Amino acid sequence: MTAPILRVRELHAGYGSIRVLHGIDFEVEDGEIVALLGANGAGKTTTLRALSGMIAAKGSIALDGKDVIALDASERTQRGIAHIPQGRGTFVDFTVEENLALGAYRMRDKRAIRSALDYWYGIFPWLAERRAQPAGSLSGGEQQMLAVARALMVEPRILMCDEPSLGLAPAITQSLFALLERLNKERGMAILLVEQNARLTLKITHRAYVIESGEIRLSGAAAELRDNPLIQRAYLGT
Ligand SMILES: Nc1ncnc2c1ncn2[C@@H]1O[C@H](COP(=O)(O)OP(=O)(O)OP(=O)(O)O)[C@@H](O)[C@H]1O
Ligand SMILES: [Mg+2]
């Protein structure tokens, strides 16, 4: 069996003396979309920050079987961990194209950047149409999709999105989720999705973990979790 893309064991992290994650374990297999669900303050954002190297962590984070815990954030990005932080993270005064090019900052070769841009413009023609527009003039949903496209410029091994639906209207959220689903189906992109919108999330994900007070409380196939009364009560409002 091949190693999972991401295998996390005994992950501990926090902020100074505040301990937030108390030894969490999970994995994302090749070609999977996995959700991390949980209430406000459960530790979802902290988990993604610990994985991408924004904050210090203890434990093991194996990417394609190799532990990256000792690497800094930019080295982890180079290994293929892409992190779209909570909030949109686009540079509003920069154009769409400048934002995309920033995503490819570690490609030195101008032609490689050009061909990556052309490739993603082919996939997202609406981005090409808006390439010269400041990112701040895009709608919230478009900015979120730009953030996804920017993260894809370097062909990550795993795409981690932190509450991409925050502040978006339901219809826009649906098209954003359709984009994630398409990237997964057509390109086999492994995705770790942090969301509070459990209903929609469990429709597009293969498996999910529920995090509570910095610990994994529950995990399983998305279809199983949808039928779990605990999940229904806590996250699906039924
Ligand atoms: N920079 C920080 N300094 C100190 N404590 C923090 C910091 N960021 C988060 N925390 C604390 O860590 C805990 C987990 O926060 P985290 O942001 O990971 O939660 P979350 O699950 O992403 O919640 P939400 O759904 O509201 O985004 C919370 O108690 C929070 O107050
Ligand atoms: Mg959060």
Residues with CB under 5 A from ligand 2 (ion): 44-45, 86
In a domain, 139, yes or no: no
Closest atom of ligand 1 to 49 CA is 18
pLDDT at 71: 97
- pLDDT at 54 exceeding the cut of 60: yes
pLDDT interval class at 139 (50, 70, 90): confident
- pLDDT at 35 exceeding the cut of 80: yes
- pLDDT at 22 exceeding the cut of 60: yes
In a domain, 218, yes or no: yes
In a domain, 57, yes or no: yes
What CATH code is carried by the domain that includes residue 214?
3.40.50.300
Could you list the residue range(s) of the whole structural domain that residue 208 is in? 6-90+158-235
Please, what is the end-to-end C-alpha distance for the chain in angstroms?
Answer: 39
SS3 annotation, the chain: CCCCCEEEEEEEEEECCEEEEEEEEEEECCCCEEEEECCCCCCHHHHHHHHHCCCCEEEEEEECCEECCCCCHHHHHHHCEEEECCCCCCCCCCEHHHHHHHHCCCCCCHHHHHHHHHHHHHHCHHHHHCCCCEHHHCCHHHHHHHHHHHHHCCCCCEEEEECCCCCCCHHHHHHHHHHHHHHHHHHCCEEEEEECCHHHHHHHCCEEEEEECCEEEEEEEHHHHHCCHHHHHHHCCC
Q: Structurally, how many domains does the chain consist of?
A: 1
State pLDDT tens for residues 153-208. 888 999 999 999 888 888 888 888 998 999 999 989 999 999 988 888 999 999 99
pLDDT at 196: 82
pLDDT at 154: 82
In a domain, 98, yes or no: no
In a domain, 131, yes or no: no
Give residue 162 CA to ligand 2 midpoint distance, Å: 7
What is the pTM (predicted TM-score) of this model? 0.92
pLDDT at 237: 64
As a whole number of angstroms, the distance between CA 177 and CA 140 comes to: 14
Work out the percent of the chain whose per-residue pLDDT is above 90: 64
In a domain, 146, yes or no: no
Inter-helix orientation angle 170-187/140-152, to 10°: 20
Lay out the sheet containing 81-84: strands in order across. Answer: 81-84, 158-162, 190-195, 33-37, 207-212, 215-221
pLDDT at 87: 76
The predicted model gives 47-71 an average pLDDT of 97
Q: Does residue 34 or residue 234 have the better pLDDT?
A: 34
As a whole number of angstroms, the distance between CA 185 and CA 187 comes to: 6
pLDDT interval class at 56 (50, 70, 90): very high
Q: Are 96 and 135 in contact (CB under 8 A)?
A: yes
Q: Is 165 in the pocket of ligand 1 (CB under 6 A)?
A: no
Which listed ligand is nearest to 19 at the C-alpha?
1
pLDDT at 234: 76
Q: Is 171 in the pocket of ligand 1 (CB under 6 A)?
A: no
In a domain, 70, yes or no: yes
In a domain, 53, yes or no: yes
